[in-house]
Amino acid sequence: MKNYSKIGTSEEARTELHDKLGLTGAEISINILPAGGCVPFVHSHKQNEEIYAIVEGEGAVVIDGENIRVKAGDWLRISPEAKRQFFASEKTALKYICIQVKAGSLEGYTMNDGVVSN
Amino acid sequence: MKNYSKIGTSEEARTELHDKLGLTGAEISINILPAGGCVPFVHSHKQNEEIYAIVEGEGAVVIDGENIRVKAGDWLRISPEAKRQFFASEKTALKYICIQVKAGSLEGYTMNDGVVSN
């Protein structure tokens, strides 16, 4: 595999990066819900922790029945087993990044995994 | 552990989310290089694949000696062993997200890991 891969992104409703970038440790999607829209189902995960970054707009996520308001700049971690559903507000579209990783998979990071060359 | 965690982000030079969100499958940092600035060292990783999202501005990343221009909207995957260094352009700050995950750790995802509740 090449030592890197790079793509630009467009304004599609959903862009999935795993295959486009050749990811091996995560799936990442970029999602846009129109104003008043929502993900049309509730879901959880078997193994994967999900991390969400709210990029633009505002809305809410219902997690195990709890309604949590979200806005641009917010980040969330959601445990695999939690049942979740995202909603855009009535006034703004909601653009967010969703990062799926296997819960508990990270070993070292930054100072414990990085190697400085010079 | 609670079924979710949530934070807002500020405009600091570097914000690390692992401890703030209780992440177990990734470390994520939000980074801002000022115009004309750069990460002051070259680095690689032992185990971790890195995924970068360029959020604002433009600049370049040198990967194993190759100079790659980047701008807002670009995403990159970089293999653990590749030597990398990020630079902001002379004219704009460069804001980017860096996601560290263990290379090869993802098993199922989306349709193979998600469970729809209704």
ipTM of the complex: 0.95
Name the β-bridge partners of A114: B45
Dist. CA B79–CA B46, nearest whole Å: 10
Substitution target in B71, B79, B102, B107 with the highest count of A β-carbons within 10 Å is B102
Using a CB-CB distance cutoff of 8 angstroms, which residues of chain A are in contact with residue B53?
Answer: 97
The pTM score is: 0.96
| pLDDT average, residue stretch A64-86 | 97
- Whether B65 and B105 have beta carbons less than 8 Å apart is answered as no
In whole angstroms, give the CA distance from residue A6 to residue B69. Answer: 10
Average pLDDT over residues B93-112: 97
* B82/A49 Cβ within 8 A: no
Contact yes or no for B25 and A115 at CB 8 A: no
Identify all chain B residues contacting A101, using CB atoms and an 8 Å cutoff: 25-26, 101, 105-106
pLDDT in tens, A20-31: 999 999 999 999
**pLDDT value at B101 more than 80:** yes
- Domains and their CATH numbers in chain A: 26-103 (2.60.120.10)
User: Is residue A101 less than 8 Å (CB to CB) from chain B?
Assistant: yes
- Which pLDDT tens digit goes with each residue over B22-76? 999 999 999 999 999 999 999 999 999 999 999 999 999 999 999 999 999 999 9
| Residue showing tokens 């909601």 | A94
For residue A2, is pLDDT > 90? no
Least confident among A32-41, B2-11, B32-41? B2-11
Is the per-residue pLDDT at A10 higher than 90?
no
Task: Output the six-digit token pair for A91.
Answer: 């006034």
Whether B100 and A109 lie within 8 Å, measured CB to CB: yes
